[in-house]
Amino acid sequence: MDSSPLILILASIVLASTPLIIAVCGEILTERSGIVNLSLDGTMLMSAMTGFVIAFETDNVWMGFLAAAGVGAFFAFIVAFGSIRLRQSQFAIGFVLTLLGDDLSAFLGQNYTRIPGPVVNHYAIPILKDIPIVGPILFNQNAIVYFAYILVFVTWFWMFRTQPGLRLRSAGDRPEAGFARGVGINFQRYLYTILGGALVGIAGASYSLNIKIGWSEGLTRGFGWIALAIVIFGGWSPIRGMFGALLFGATKALATYLQRTFPEVSVVAFNAIPWVLMILVLLLVGSDFTERVLTIAPKSLRRPLQRLLKISPPQALGSTFVED
């Protein structure tokens, strides 16, 4: 039962999606507070490199994750400081940091490429792992995967069911109203940008310590942008974001499978599939396209479909707030 190929494939999809799930949760926290951290791609490369190097030197994966979270938090702090204090364009800062992270990780990690290092230990949860089908897929993994599940739930609960979460959302949705009610808008933005950045850092390290074990130049290149797209796909909700990440993982697995089945089709076509798919996803979910299509749906169906598909970003996303 455990080793049926379908279950193995599903388990590998869950494993491969965890870094994206963690990064998406981090970026959702950041964007819900009203700041776009565009530097995800560079941050993940830097933290993947740092995480591996530190874990290699200390021979302790958790030190690696800690260092990676620190790097992520530092990059996020630059974005927050630049946009709040210096009032520069968040996009410009994030973009420059993306380029910087890419180059810097390639240079600083050049002595550590393609060597084996420590990995996160496999740990099956007792009892839960014996549940048929679900058990081997979800609970026969390792600590980082379990951390991702818990994170999704905690992020959702924190944002939508607690007072601090309300303050966080007020900073991104109605900063003036929140400020009038005594919320320190810019404090919230600093806090959640840095926290989100630390999570992105952990996501980067979970590539180099858990999935594509080891470090090589450009190890995680592209995944940061995918995570940013999934945030939109997920409608700034961690639970939907998680499904987005799993869906992306599934299409990648499908592409690999199709590639083996149809070897005569060029590899390039399959490499391009995820990107084309992401554009289509942005078109379908993150845009007005759905609205247009829904007008032809029967009236009784329109409401629930709209609830399901329609999403709107935090209203003050990307704008600066001046406290005075």
Partner 1 sequence: MQAFFIRHPKVWRAFDILLPFLATLAALGVGAVMLMAFDANPVVAYGALLEGAFGSTNAIADTLVKATPLLLVALGICIAFRGGVINIGGEGQLVLGALASTLVGLTFPDMPGYLIIPLALFVGFLAGGFWGAIPGFLKAYFNVNEILSTIMMNAIAVQGMNYLLKEPMIDPVQLEAASRIPQTARLSAAFDLPRLVPTRLHLGTALAIIAAILVFIFLWRTVVGYRIRAVGMNASASRYAGINVPRNIVLALALSGAFCGLAGAIQVFGLHHRMFTDGSATGFTGSAGFNGIVVALFGQLHPLGAIPASFLFGALIVGANKLQRVMQVPASFIIALNGLVVVFVVSADYWRRRMARRREAEVVSEELISSEAEVPT
Q: Which positions touch partner 1 (CB under 8 A)?
A: 38, 82, 86-88, 91-93, 95-96, 99-100, 103-104, 107-108, 218, 222, 225, 228-229, 232, 266, 268-269, 271-272, 275-276, 278-279, 282-283, 286-289
The whole-angstrom separation of Cα 213 and Cα 73 is 23
Q: Which is nearer to partner 1, 92 or 308 (by Cβ)?
A: 92
Q: How far is the CB of 297 from partner 1 (least distance, A)?
A: 17
Q: How far is the CB of 169 from partner 1 (least distance, A)?
A: 20
Q: Which is nearer to partner 1, 100 or 119 (by Cβ)?
A: 100
Report whether 217 contacts 113 (CB < 8 A).
Answer: yes
Q: How far is the CB of 268 from partner 1 (least distance, A)?
A: 4
Q: What is the DSSP letter of 302?
A: H
The whole-angstrom separation of Cα 179 and Cα 323 is 8
Q: How far is the CB of 104 from partner 1 (least distance, A)?
A: 6
CB neighbours (10 Å) of residue 262? 11
Q: What angle do CA 297, 298, 300 make, to 5 degrees?
A: 125
Instruction: Tell me how far apart the terminal alpha carbons of the chain are, to the nearest angstrom.
Output: 64
Q: How far is the CB of 98 from partner 1 (least distance, A)?
A: 9
Structure tokens at 213: 């074990």
Report whether 109 contacts 52 (CB < 8 A).
Answer: yes
> Phi/psi of residue 297, each to 5°?
-75, 150
Residue 144: name the closest of 243, 64, 49, 71 by CA. 64
Helix (H) or strand (E) holding 138, with range, is helix 134-138
Q: How far is the CB of 241 from partner 1 (least distance, A)?
A: 15
Q: Which is nearer to partner 1, 72 or 224 (by Cβ)?
A: 224
Report whether 65 contacts 202 (CB < 8 A).
Answer: yes
The whole-angstrom separation of Cα 25 and Cα 226 is 13
Q: How far is the CB of 257 from partner 1 (least distance, A)?
A: 19
Q: How far is the CB of 32 from partner 1 (least distance, A)?
A: 16
Q: Which is nearer to partner 1, 82 or 178 (by Cβ)?
A: 82
Q: Which is nearer to partner 1, 93 or 199 (by Cβ)?
A: 93
Q: Which is nearer to partner 1, 128 or 283 (by Cβ)?
A: 283
3-state secondary structure 138-180: HCCCEHHHHHHHHHHHHHHHHHHHCHHHHHHHHHHHCHHHHHH
Q: Which is nearer to partner 1, 74 or 146 (by Cβ)?
A: 74
Q: Which is nearer to partner 1, 96 or 119 (by Cβ)?
A: 96
- Residues 7-22 as b/e (b if ≥16 CB within 10 A, e otherwise) read beebbebbbbbbbbbb
- The size of the chain, in residues, is 324
Q: How far is the CB of 197 from partner 1 (least distance, A)?
A: 18
Q: Which is nearer to partner 1, 41 or 210 (by Cβ)?
A: 41
Structure tokens at 230: 């999934």
